[in-house]
Amino acid sequence: MKQLILASSNPGKLREFAQMFAPLGIELIAQSSLGVADADEPHDTFLENALAKARHASRQAKLPAMADDSGICVRALDGQPGVHSARFADVAGAGDRASQDALNNEKLLALLRGKPDRVAHYACVIVLVRHDKDPEPLVAHGTWQGLIADAPRGANGFGYDPYFFLPDLGKTAAELEPGEKNMLSHRGKALRRLLAQLKAGA
């Protein structure tokens, strides 16, 4: 495998993943650069959505493809927002990503108001298919445990990071440097597990 399609339009994600695949001699290519549109994500699990995105990109590009699906799961809300994390507030015309993030966090805090249980975790599933009908896709999971804070802290990260508090560090995810976050995060863990499978010849 010399080339791999990343089923994402997120440039930050492409940079992060490309650096980790380079030592394996694999070139990571954004699906958007080949004119592949984002796939629908209608499923109820991270695994199903990641697999759907990977198969869609592989089918369109005729190359191996990788996709991830991730989100935050809050115990007191029975796992919400989960797969709907990016569009939790689901407000039409919400504007740019920062505006959508603000609305998502506002809704999350409103639902948690008065609830003492603030336990939450980020979850990520990464899927790699060698071709669009691959019967044995590579699958890797990663989680990151924390609590939902009442007030935001930190200017790094995105999404729920300013409210995702890490008790062991006394910081939110948005207060971590990028390198530190990659070592600890759900996505970083899942990606390293996927790379281990590739290095083992899976």
Question: Packing angle between helix 186-199 and helix 11-21, nearest 10 degrees?
Answer: 40
Of the candidates 121, 127, 120, the one whose C-alpha atom is nearest the C-alpha of residue 193 is 127
d(CA 64, CA 89): 34
- CA-based nearest residue to 154, from 169, 164, 144, 143: 164
Question: Catalytic site residue 69?
Answer: yes
How many alpha carbons fall within 13 Å on the CB side of residue 60? 21
Per-residue CA distances from 168 to 81, 145, 164, 171 (Å): 24, 10, 12, 8
Number of Cα atoms under 13 Å in the Cβ half of residue 78: 0
Catalytic option among 38, 40, 44, 69: 69
- Per the CB < 8 A criterion, the answer to whether 46 and 70 are in contact is yes
**How many C-alpha atoms does 54 have within 13 Å on its Cβ side?**
27
Catalytic residue ranges: 69
